Structure 1
Amino acid sequence: MDPESSLRERLIDVGVDLVTTEGPASLGLREIARRAGVSHGAPRRYFPTHHALLSSIARRGFEELEARFVAAIAGATSPRAQLQGAARAYVGYALECRGMFELMFRHDLLDSEQHAAGERRLRESTVPLFERIVVLVARCRAEQGAAQQSRPDAAVPPPAVAAAALWANLHGTAQLWAWGSLQLALDAAPPAGATGGDQLDQLVAAVLDAHLGPVNS
């Protein structure tokens, strides 16, 4: 790796460490430059804006989440089991990597045209993950039959709409669990560790049932 590329990657590495340990509010250009051992103006040589650097940091999060999806889906034998694995991986990542998770989905800040000049768009990391969920939703429907997904008199939303609603539900579940709100509502003591335990698994299963219908319906 040439020195210029090496410094660019080091700036991203420092940002990843910062967001992981201290959260998105810590990601100032000066602090990243200081920890990387360069002048405060050096990041501008590689990232035209602060948000361009944040987008590159967030992309690392999507790469890790993608790897978790692949691992979770690999051992599953049915579309529903694959979707269950991907959903649990998503919520698990949200709880284990809260700072990065918070940063990754701020596309209103990270992915605008003025911030993406000269950079690979963050949407190129986000959209494939969402499309993977859309495909799994469609396969689940094909396997179970669309009539099982809703009442006979109810319109069945397109797979992309159902996948978006499922994603929103999972995202909300992860956030409310991280904040302790779901534990309060369910009168449940927080489990040991970051992954949430059996009760969170039950919530993820309930989310899938709500959007796809129970497995044995």
Structure 2
Amino acid sequence: MESESSLRERLIDVGVDLVMTEGSASLGLREIARRAGVSHGAPRRYFPTHHALLSAIARRGFAGLETLFAAATGGTTSPRGQLHALGRAYVGYALAHRGMFELMFRHDLLDSEKHGSDQPRLRESTLPLFELTVGLVADYRAEQAVARRPFAPSDTGPPPAVTAAALWANLHGVAQLWAWGSLQLALDAPPAGGTPDRDGLDPVVAAVLDAHLGPVNA
């Protein structure tokens, strides 16, 4: 007989597969239960609310993004290089997994309470990724200070957390506007296709870093 914990994970697995293949609109409780091969009421035994199940599915998305970040930054040790790799990975994930990305940042899930679940709020899943960015911004500034480059970011600038927040917001906006086709229209670039256009996106990601960290050769 299947244990309660394995059935709980199977419900999440089904939800992840649904959102990846059919988008966030497909994540109804009845459809998840049907595909998991359980009764319509079964999910309520493991998730007190629909939001609790959606949060568990979205938490898998953050775990996947964290794994992607680790792989993306493995090829460089410089803080600036790692921030560039994170930026490309973030925007690339958003475009390749639009349904999951939309679910991960749904305000009603991020701003909600626990919904009776024993899991932490979904918002807390964003903290490790944000703290990684803050640390890299701080490391880059320290590296620049040692190099004594003119026009390098100084200690009088915004705190690293503020710069990291602005960087994150900018990259998130790039991902959304690229997915909608707005940036391609503004830049006279080819419309978005099934896979992210790296040649078109990389200069935009580089410009975001220049805007918040200063030009790389400054």
Q: Which residue of 1 aligns with 2:87?
A: 87
- Calculate the TM-score normalised by the size of structure 1: 0.92
Q: Which residue of 2 aligns with 1:180?
A: 181
Q: CA deviation at 1:111?
A: 5.1
Work out which of the residue numbers 128, 140, 152 in structure 2 matches 1:148: 152
How do 1:1-217 and structure 2 match up within 5 A?
3-110=3-110, 112-115=112-115, 117-145=117-145, 148-149=152-153, 156-190=157-191, 193-217=194-218
Residue pair 2:181, 2:192 contacting (<8 A) in 1 also: no
- Calculate the TM-score normalised by the size of structure 2: 0.91
Residue pair 2:184, 2:192 contacting (<8 A) in 1 also: no
CA distance in 2, matches of 1:210, 1:80: 13
Residue ranges of structure 2 left out of the alignment (5+ in a row): none
CA deviation digits over 1:110-165, x for unaligned, max 9?
Answer: 45224253223323421001100000111111112395237x9xx51111111011
Residue pair 2:84, 2:209 contacting (<8 A) in 1 also: yes
More displaced stretch, 194-203 vs 44-53: 194-203
Segments of 4+ moved more than 4 angstroms: none
More displaced stretch, 113-122 vs 125-134: 113-122
More displaced stretch, 162-171 vs 19-28: 19-28
CA distance in 1, matches of 2:108, 2:153: 33
RMSD: 2.0
Residue pair 2:14, 2:35 contacting (<8 A) in 1 also: yes
Letter of the structure 2 residue corresponding to residue 23 of structure 1: G
CA shift in 2, pair 1:114/1:69, >3 Å: closer
CA distance in 2, matches of 1:113, 1:169: 27
Number of equivalences = 214
Residue ranges of structure 1 left out of the alignment (5+ in a row): none
Question: What percent identity do the matched residue pairs reach?
Answer: 75
